[in-house]
Amino acid sequence: MKRKNSQIVHIRRQWNDWKIGGVELMKIENLHWDTISGGVHAASPQPFIHGYVWCNDIIKGEIAHSCEHGTGPHNIKVCIVKKDNSPEIFKKLLEITGPKPKYKRGSGKYVKVR
């Protein structure tokens, strides 16, 4: 059930998945930048914000997850894409994670630059 004044974050399993769900911001744990998704561990072309949610905390839509592989609920890694969320929500996420890591030329990896 959606609470009044709740902050809904739109989530996916991978950055390019067409299935999108919604979860309250306060239900997402361990928010961080990453290039590897949950589930199938797909690599993304750039870092995206990821976090962990319990599959039964998704309150709208659906994401690529089933409880077929074991009794739920499951704690699953999800991806948060900027274009799916309001500027206000994304600003709150950045306050937690910090800015997007920059690509360090020649190193082959992304590094946090503050």
Q: How many Cβ atoms are within 10 Å of 71's Cβ, its own excluded? A: 6
Sorted by sequence, the CB contacts under 8 Å of residue 41 that are 6+ apart come out as none
pLDDT tens for each residue of 9-64: 999 999 999 999 999 999 999 999 999 998 888 999 999 999 999 989 999 988 87
Global confidence as pTM: 0.84
Residue 108 falls in which region: left (phi positive, over 0), alpha (psi -120 to 50) or beta = left
Q: Give the pLDDT confidence of 57-105 residue by residue, as tens digits.
A: 999 988 877 666 667 688 999 999 999 999 999 999 999 999 999 866 5
pLDDT band at 1 (very low <50, low <70, confident <90, very high): very low
Spell out the residues 6+ positions from residue 59 whose beta carbon is closer than 8 angstroms to its own. Answer: 1, 2, 8, 22, 23, 24
As a whole number of angstroms, the distance between CA 95 and CA 27 comes to 16
Q: Where are the domains of the chain?
A: 8-111
